[in-house]
Chain A
Amino acid sequence: MDSIDPKMLTAAASALGAGLAIGLGAIGSGIGIGIAASKFIESIARQPESEGKTRTWFFMAYALCETQTIFALLIAFILLGKTGG
């Protein structure tokens, strides 16, 4: 039985992990931003004059939801650095 080069194994696992990290990490913020946007549109439809006030808070929520994906992206970058490619 031929043995696997541990370096190759690390590189392969890191590449796989990077893809999984950003892919799974994006699910949560996708759902979160979706909910925020749907409520934003709902509130504009109900009270059109409140748009200016709600828009700022929508972008706040958007930025906070996005943070999770950004940390996933950071982990993906760190893992990509370990692939040696």
Chain B
Amino acid sequence: MSSDVEFSVLPALNLPGLTSHQALVVEYTWLSMAIIVVLLAIAIISLKTVPGTLQNIFEMVVTFIEGYITEIVGKKGLRYFPLVATIFTFILVANYIGLIPGFMSPTASINTTAGMAIVVFVFYQYLGVSQKGIKYFKHFLGPIPVMAPLMIVMETISELARPVALSVRLFANIYGGEMIIKILFGLFAIGVPVIWMAWDSLITIPIQAFIFSLLTMVYVAGAVAADEGH
């Protein structure tokens, strides 16, 4: 995507078949996964009845995600908690490390976000087919039999548009945010970029992580829901 040489703390490894930018994306993806694993390991080793700071933060995240899953699909949605929680924490950490100077967000690359969106797409299509069988494809035909030839085209297009919109939404928000920070640093060296970074870290990043996991939950719920018209 970007051809200019970027400043990075991690050296760009020489991975076969990848440009140096793509290699950096892979490295920072691994870095954000490592951060999540290490933080979780520290929190799990020292579990207490009266939680400390780190355990408090994780308990807050878990309660929050459980809260909105039960809000949308009810108690049976908690079965898909691991997927939703993984997506939420990964996007959150991956977005935040991009704000540290010298680091970059893996989510500012369309490859990372499209990868996650495809995983979600395949997962909920599989769930729908495995739970409802051939009846799953009935909702592609629409409610009225006469309209079926028209509806099957429209429903297929709108189904295929979901992963595209899901991946481009996250990518465009994070990439756009980084671009604006770069431009602001060119215009004003001190002060003003920090205001935008604060906006980014307080509003854009949590909301994008929230929306990606929320839509994952909604799509999964729509695929497994009982037929009652929609």
Contacts and interface: CB of A to CB of B under 8 A. Distances in A.
Instruction: Identify the interface centre among B165, B211, B214, B215: most chain A CB within 10 Å of its CB.
Output: B165
Interface string A20-58: 000000000000000000000000000000001100100
A59 B168 contact: no
Contacts, number: 31
B210 A59 contact: yes
A59 B217 CA distance: 13
B218 interface: yes
A16 interface: no
A77 B125 CA distance: 29
B172 A67 contact: no
B154 interface: no
B4 interface: no
A59 B72 CA distance: 12
A62 B169 CA distance: 12
Contact of B67 (A52, A62, A73): A52
Q: Is the interface of A mostly helix, strand, loop or mixed?
A: helix
Contact of B165 (A60, A62, A70): A70
Given A66-B169, A67-B169, A56 B214 contact: yes
A74 B168 contact: yes
Interface in B62-94: 67-68, 71-72
B99 to A, nearest CB: 22
27 contacts: A52-B67, A52-B71, A53-B71, A56-B68, A56-B71, A56-B72, A59-B207, A59-B210, A59-B211, A59-B214, A60-B214, A60-B218, A62-B211, A63-B169, A63-B211, A63-B214, A66-B169, A67-B165, A67-B169, A70-B165, A70-B169, A70-B172, A71-B161, A71-B165, A73-B172, A74-B164, A74-B168
